[in-house]
Structure 1
Amino acid sequence: MTKNPAKSDRQQKQQSDDKGKACKPGTSLTEWVVAGISAIALLAVLGYLVVDGLSARDGTARIVVMPLAVAANEGGFVVEFAAANRAGKSVAAVEVKGELRNGDEVVEESSATLDYVPQNSQRKGALIFTHDPEAYDLRLFASGYSEP
């Protein structure tokens, strides 16, 4: 009986291929965990961006101006204020005005401009008066803004 050398070579090659396949590792548990966490993070970011993109940003800004402190200095009286934008729309060039009133009479006016007030945030500023604001009725309000 003679051996067929071609058949023997094929068997050896098949056995070596089978050994190579057995040695290749599969996807480890760590890789699956990392892939799962990454997929969840990606879906969360995409979901946030979609919701944020579809949320209503139309309408008007709601600027609320509140006095923080009054301090006397050489040039008069400084009234520090906070202007809060309580809407989902950012605004620029916010004009804040202050009036000192004695009944219906406006005794003194002052104004300041805030460069930018982002949505749902606040910015601080100050108005300067020559009369003492504590001796009069102080009114602070936003009188205008532009869209950035």
Structure 2
Amino acid sequence: MTKNSTGKAKPEGRQSDKAAARKPGTSIAEWIVAGISCAALLSVLTYLVIDGLSAPDGTPEIVVVPVGTTPGNDRYVVEFSASNRGGKSVAAVEIKGELRDDKGVVEESSVVLDYVPQKSERRGALIFTADPNRHQLRLFAGGYIEP
């Protein structure tokens, strides 16, 4: 027997109850969590590889639709939605708007959208001084660059 700092005898070779009850090795709960984590990781990697290999490049298809018109101080704000329905993302998309009558174009306005990913939508607005409700409004994409 050995003596501890208080001078009392301490039996050697005796383990605590907690240490004796614990079994060495990996528990079943740890194996289950590891299995679920591996399955999730493999699923994500498989999805990314399949999506990367099968995604169509195609061409961008920008469709511009007016959402609403708000009159202001000597101006009219025409809000629009630009959707890229194609299989390729584009950047610096120029959206043009024209107000037309029987004689031709009355007024033009344009704005540039920084980025429009494939299969997504972006919103913006064009500003006119003439009333769009009194003219024929034409909205369209005028150009873009590849990111």
User: Does the pair score TM above 0.5?
Assistant: yes
Q: CA deviation at 1:26?
A: 4.4
RMSD of Structure 2 on Structure 1 (CA): 1.8
Deviation at 1:114, TM superposition (A): 0.7
1:60 partner SS: coil
Q: Tell me what 2:14 maps to.
A: none
Identify the residue that residue 69 of structure 2 maps to in structure 1: 70
Structure 1 stretches of at least 4 aligned residues deviating more than 4 Å after TM superposition = none
**Which blocks of at least 5 consecutive residues in structure 1 are unaligned?**
1-22
Give runs of aligned pairs for residues 47-66 of structure 1, distance below 5 A.
47-66=46-65
For 1:19, the equivalent position in structure 2 comes to none
1:11 is aligned to none
User: Which structure: larger Rg?
Assistant: 1
SS at structure 1 position matched to 2:47: helix
Q: What percent identity do the matched residue pairs reach?
A: 66
What is the CA–CA distance in structure 2 between the aligned matches of 1:24 and 1:72, rounded to whole Å?
A: 76
Q: What is the correspondence of 1:1-148 to structure 2 with a 5 Å cutoff?
A: 25-103=24-102, 105-148=104-147
TM-score between the two structures when normalised by the length of structure 1: 0.77
Where 1:59 maps in the other structure, the secondary structure is coil
Deviations along 1:72-100, one digit per CA (max 9) or x if unpaired, are 11241110111111123211000101111
Aligned residues: 126
Partner in structure 1 of residue 3 of structure 2: none
Deviation at 1:57, TM superposition (A): 4.0
Q: Which amino acid aligns with 1:120?
A: K
The answer to which structure has the higher helix fraction is 1
Specify the SS of the correspondent of 2:88.
Answer: coil
